[in-house]
Structure 1
């Protein structure tokens, strides 16, 4: 993700900020993103700490679901903890040095990638629970190996941040932002983020839509208790991530076509859409940790119903008939 890139301010944007309309000036000075990030920090840190400590209704969940939800809460928490640093950088300047610029951004990227992959894994897990493939799949992979692989992939995807993040001085203001050596490098980073984002969005949407269809097929009618949580998960994920992914796609087009105007627009848009993605880390406890018991119970009942429909029990015969051999 280039989620942390909302702190970047190009020299052209900064030098002409005074000539922009008021709402663009607010964005360029970082006021709107700072307010949004402050809200995310206060609500998200509290919510994820509550999930880690309280673990609501987890006693009825499988060990796989508990491990994924704990990993999701940890990822979201560590993603939100550095936000005060970015809020200060939005309102003033980056005064923490190059090493902190790279490491803090790397941490945020790792946690965002980990959170995305965990949400994707949870959606697949719930679908596999209904189609009775959960135990077989996780016996082959193993939950500990899956979590290690998940974090390893997240760190590998975040490596470009260590290369492109630099300190830039504009009108005596220091910014921690991406500094690409070439258009090819910028395209490579943008395409990686876009592909990961679209892949996660597609898998989550398809998994929950298939789960919804399976549940309704088993129940033989639409159940609002099953429709609402699944719909809220899909809609929230789409609403919070599609704007950022769309901005990435526009940036790919801008770099490919060398359109400076479109790229400048993307620089403004990243400030808002990047901050919005942090809202996902705030609502995850409500969407997953505090509703997982209801959704998993629904999946278990659907699985049991499918087993009964597919494997009906043969009624036993009375002893007199079974012992009748014709003698």
Structure 2
């Protein structure tokens, strides 16, 4: 998420030794309120998932590990919100090293989020569509590899992050030595984003088709849940990646007006991504109780058909 910063361009910096008096217009004030809402809702929700592990007795070990990892990655990204709110009001005052470390944490957690959601989708697809158990998978090794990939993907953000004086305000942002490198970075994000969404959408659609064909799984709760997962993932990420595509077009066409539009709107759509971190606890953890009830009702039917109950069937939740 290049240029991931929320410094307000129309703020003015007071002379040294005097307290700054930033002026907030309605747009910037609304952004601060939204960030505060994300923090107040998302942080307690993900902490509750980590501590309480709601209704997880029917979840497989791998599913528990992935949902827990999703909550941890969401929590890490949400915990950086106070820093961005401070930046909105006072600029980046924490130094270059803190700029790079914070950016690394944000991007690493976001990439971990994407990979975990895709991992959950693959697991559910294998269990529900192909009736393949995942008990032989080593959860710790899988999570280590997942975070390793996330860290590798986030390294470039650490390298390009610099402190830039913007309207006399220090700003933590990405600087590229050439337009080609910037275009390559944007294309990497676009391909990764649309690639993850395509995989998630395809797998959940196949899962939904399988569920509709199974009489004991024909329940509106599962349909609403699968639909909400796909739609939330699509709606919250599509605008940001669309802006990245437009940015690539602006660089290729050397269109300064389009580039300025993409730069200003990217900050807004980058902020919207935090909504996903707030929704994940409700989509993947707290909804398990109702779907557990559906799966438990299916056990007598499974037993009558000489089929052993599969705890992984709850993974449709």
TM bracket, shorter-chain basis: 0.7 to 0.9
RMSD of the alignment, in Å?
Answer: 2.7
1:255 aligns with 2:251: yes
2:126 maps to which residue? 128
Any idea what SS the aligned residue of 2:173 has?
strand
Aligned equivalents of 1:302, 1:247: Cα separation in 2 = 45
Structure 1: state its 5+ residue gaps: 16-24, 312-327
Q: Relative to total residues, which structure has the larger helix share, 1 or 2?
A: 1
Aligned equivalents of 2:300, 2:100: Cα separation in 1 = 50
Indicate if the aligned counterparts of 1:36 and 1:276 stay in contact, CA closer than 8 A: no
Extract structure 1 runs of 4+ deviating beyond 6 A.
299-311
Any idea what SS the aligned residue of 1:180 has?
coil
1:53 maps to which residue? 51
Aligned equivalents of 2:141, 2:297: Cα separation in 1 = 29
1:95 maps to which residue? 93
Q: CA deviation at 1:293?
A: 4.6
Indicate if the aligned counterparts of 1:103 and 1:162 stay in contact, CA closer than 8 A: yes
Structure 2: state its 5+ residue gaps: 12-24, 308-317
Indicate if the aligned counterparts of 2:217 and 2:295 stay in contact, CA closer than 8 A: no
Shift in alpha-carbon separation, 1:178–1:274, aligned structure 2, 3 A? same
Give matches, 1:172-251, under 5 Å. Answer: 172-219=168-215, 223-251=219-247
Any idea what SS the aligned residue of 1:78 has?
helix
Deviations 1:19-57 (A, max 9, x none): xxxxxx755xx4343222111111100100011111110
Q: 1:34 aligns with which of 8, 32, 56?
A: 32
TM-score, with normalisation over the residues of structure 2? 0.84
Any idea what SS the aligned residue of 1:181 has?
coil
Give matches, 1:246-325, under 5 Å. Answer: 246-295=242-291
Which structure's CA Rg is the greater one?
1
Indicate if the aligned counterparts of 2:7 and 2:87 stay in contact, CA closer than 8 A: no
Any idea what SS the aligned residue of 1:225 has?
helix
Any idea what SS the aligned residue of 1:246 has?
helix
Task: Provide the aligned length of Structure 1 versus Structure 2.
Answer: 295
Shift in alpha-carbon separation, 1:267–1:310, aligned structure 2, 3 A? farther
2:41 maps to which residue? 43
Q: CA deviation at 1:304?
A: 9.6
TM-score, with normalisation over the residues of structure 1? 0.82
1:78 aligns with 2:86: no
